[in-house]
Amino acid sequence: MHRQLFSGDYIPVIDENFFKMIVQVGTVIGPQKTGQHFSRAYLNMVRRKGFRHESTLTARGAAVVNYLAPSEAFAFAVFLKRQIFEFGQDPNQELVVLA
């Protein structure tokens, strides 16, 4: 789930070029390779002024679930991905991860 951890110095700045790459991945590359796409809600979220796509909370949440209930780790990963990429919920908000 977290092959490219966006934390600390590795949190990307979402400028116009980075946003274009996100759109390309979410509307062309992702659907071709996996059938999944980034929703309008997600694109609107990352487009917000000052948004930081940090993955510290989601990584910690995934690690805790994997430790406490390994059989639920995959379901939790799917839950997080849907909340962020389908419903446009901010991964920086604790309630998204803890829901």
Q: What is the pLDDT of residues 28-54, one digit of tens each?
A: 887 888 778 899 999 999 998 888 888
The C-alpha atoms of residue 75 and residue 32 are separated, in whole angstroms, by 23
> Is pLDDT of 9 > 90?
no
Instruction: Write down the pLDDT at residue 3.
Output: 53
User: Is the overall model pTM greater than 0.85, yes or no?
Assistant: no
Average pLDDT for the chain: 85
Per-residue model confidence (pLDDT) at position 1: 45
Q: Is the pLDDT of residue 13 over 90?
A: no
| Rounded CA separation 55/9 (Å) | 12
Q: What whole-number distance in Å separates Cα of residue 73 and Cα of residue 90?
A: 20
Q: Are 76 and 61 in contact (CB under 8 A)?
A: yes
In this prediction, residue 65 carries a pLDDT of: 92
Residue pair 66/80 in contact by the 8 Å Cβ criterion = no
For helices 56-68 and 73-81, angle between their N-to-C axes, nearest 10 degrees: 160
